[in-house]
Amino acid sequence: MAKILKVQLTVPPSSDLVHRFRNFGEDVYSALREECAVSIDEIDAATSTFHIREIHKRFVRTAAAMVREISQKHHMSEIVNVDEIPETTNA
């Protein structure tokens, strides 16, 4: 069964922060697009949240760790949460 990760800012988005969040998201997309369903359109429209879908259950921890590592490179690790959410959630 596939898993979903929700990537979300923990602070209110400003225009500068939204730009940084989208750049971070584009790096996440590049890193995970071969393993998971990541929408560049969703990332480019994101203001505070995007999702990584269709993650194999054996890869979900690795994917989350990769997202956290990318957030550190973007100096956003303190303001980005990465959480697994139930598949039944309308995300």
* pLDDT tier, 1 (very low <50, low <70, confident <90, very high otherwise): confident
- Domain interval for residue 62: 2-85
Helix (H) or strand (E) holding 63: helix 60-73
Say what the pLDDT of residue 88 is. 62
Query: Does residue 90 lie within any of the structural domains?
Result: no
The answer to whether 28 and 38 have CB atoms below 8 angstroms apart is yes
Is 71 within a domain? yes
* pLDDT score for 90: 52
The number of folded domains in the chain is 1
- What pLDDT score was predicted for residue 89? 47
- Domain harbouring 22, CATH code: 3.30.70.3400
Within-domain flag for 55: yes
Residue 91 lies in a domain: no
pLDDT at 86: 82
**32 assigned to some structural domain:** yes
Q: Is residue 56 part of a domain?
A: yes
21-64 residue pLDDT tens: 999 999 999 999 999 999 999 999 999 999 999 999 999 999 99
Confidence (pLDDT) at 37: 97
Global confidence as pTM: 0.92
Give the single-character DSSP code of 57: T
* H helix and E strand count, the chain: 3, 4
Whether 29 maps to a domain, the answer reads yes
Q: What are the pLDDT digits (tens) for 77-91?
A: 999 999 999 876 455
